[in-house]
Amino acid sequence: MALGMVVRLKRFVWLLLAHHFMVVRACHEVTYGQYIQEYCLSKFQSDMETLRKTLWCDWDMTLGWYGELTNCTYQIAGRMHCFWPNQLVDEFFIAIHKHYFKNCPVSGRALRDPPNTILCPFILVPIFVTLLMTALVVWRSKRSEGIV
């Protein structure tokens, strides 16, 4: 009976200590949100403001800054013992996209027709091949001699 009581007491003490360590090591989301706003977003905003709004959708211009923003949120999460990605990071990036990239096409480039020098061969070559094959079949069908 005493051994069972000791085991229960050890479990209780372990639960108290484990709870204490989990609270100390847990992510404090409010502070994390403030840090990513203050350190990460402020840098990204100043970088993006150096570009004209028409260039915000140019992935070649913004890719480096976007990567730095992502890395910043990751580094702060690691220092604060937060999981990454998490719901706060998801909401943070959704807000970034709604503000900076809402008018951008999904591919990162504006969709447009290719130049005529590229488009015309892709249209004309299949038409000529179809006409040529049709003429060849008609010509061959009229010459039945020599077919076994």
Q: How far apart are the first and last CA of the chain?
A: 103
Given a cut of 80, whether residue 97 has pLDDT beyond it is: yes
Given a cut of 50, whether residue 19 has pLDDT beyond it is: no
CA distance 23 to 103: 42
Residue 63 neighbours by CB distance under 10 Å: 11
Contact 81, 31 (CB under 8 A): no
CA distance 29 to 37: 12
Among 100, 101, 45, which residue's Cα sits nearest to residue 72? 45
* Average pLDDT value over all residues in the chain: 82
Given a cut of 50, whether residue 23 has pLDDT beyond it is: no
Among 75, 88, 99, which residue's Cα sits nearest to residue 28? 88
Given a cut of 70, whether residue 94 has pLDDT beyond it is: yes
- Percent pLDDT > 70 in the chain is 76
Q: Is the peptide bond before 85 cis (omega within 30 degrees of 0)?
A: yes
Q: State the amino acid at position 109 in one-letter form.
A: R
pLDDT in tens, 24-36: 457 888 999 999 9
